[in-house]
Chains A and B, each alone.
Chain A
Amino acid sequence: GENVEQHPSTLSVQEGDSAVIKCTYSDSASNYFPWYKQELGKRPQLIIDIRSNVGEKKDQRIAVTLNKTAKHFSLHITETQPEDSAVYFCAANTGGFKTIFGAGTRLFVKA
């Protein structure tokens, strides 16, 4: 089955810097790649997603890139702010009911 690996597990950046989180997946049939943000003690919430027919997608300060050949995708956050501090999860789905999540990256943005 699908396996999603996520790196790094912890990331600390200075406010205003960029943050990059990388994920790899194993199942070449995966075609949907969402990213969820989970603030401390809160529920995960979708922040951006990308489908396999697209190489890059942007939404204000966040962007996601997908390399299907290498089977990896990344989340880029520019001009980081303290409110970006959270745990970020990547995930992959082959089009069925099983969304497989990475282990998460805890992002700290230092003011």
Chain B
Amino acid sequence: NAGVTQTPKFRILKIGQSMTLQCAQDMNHNYMYWYRQDPGMGLKLIYYSVGAGITDKGEVPNGYNVSRSTTEDFPLRLELAAPSQTSVYFCASSYLGQGDEKLFFGSGTQLSVL
């Protein structure tokens, strides 16, 4: 099992550009999440999904979009990138999504918007 796989690992964007961060998991987890981690800060939930076709907003959803067409994939889309979106992005998954189980994280994507 590869676990949770994220691509790319690093990316530099210009203001106003758009991109998609890819996330895939092979653990047959129902629940997937996108977090961002700013320097010296904890992880903030951007969006989450409870299954294919179902997504919902987290704490900081503005400027992002997600889709979940399959159980395995949960891409995060940035439209009109802004410097405030410079961060490290982590995708995560869990099996039950009841809140009391382990989150499995991907290796992260370091994004800079200049």
Q: Which residues of A contact B (CB under 8 A)?
A: 1, 4, 6, 9, 31-32, 34, 36, 42-46, 49, 51, 89, 91, 93-104
Contacts and interface: CB of A to CB of B under 8 A. Distances in A.
Contacts of B53: none
Contacts of B40: 9, 103-104
A98 B59 contact: yes
A30 B102 CA distance: 16
From B42, B102, B108, residue with most partner A Cβ within 10 Å: B42
Contacts of B106: 43
Given A9-B40, A97-B48, A43 B90 contact: yes
B42 A95 contact: no
Interface in B57-114: 58-59, 90, 97-100, 102-103, 105-108
20 contacts: A1-B59, A32-B99, A34-B103, A43-B90, A44-B103, A46-B103, A49-B100, A49-B102, A89-B42, A95-B98, A95-B100, A97-B31, A97-B33, A97-B56, A97-B99, A98-B45, A98-B59, A101-B42, A103-B40, A104-B41
A42 B50 contact: no
Interface residues of B, number: 24
A36 B92 CA distance: 13
Given A42-B107, A44-B90, A45-B105, A94 B99 contact: yes
A108 to B, nearest CB: 15
B15 interface: no
A24 to B, nearest CB: 14
Given A89-B42, A97-B33, A98-B59, 5 more contacts: A1-B59, A9-B40, A32-B99, A42-B107, A102-B42
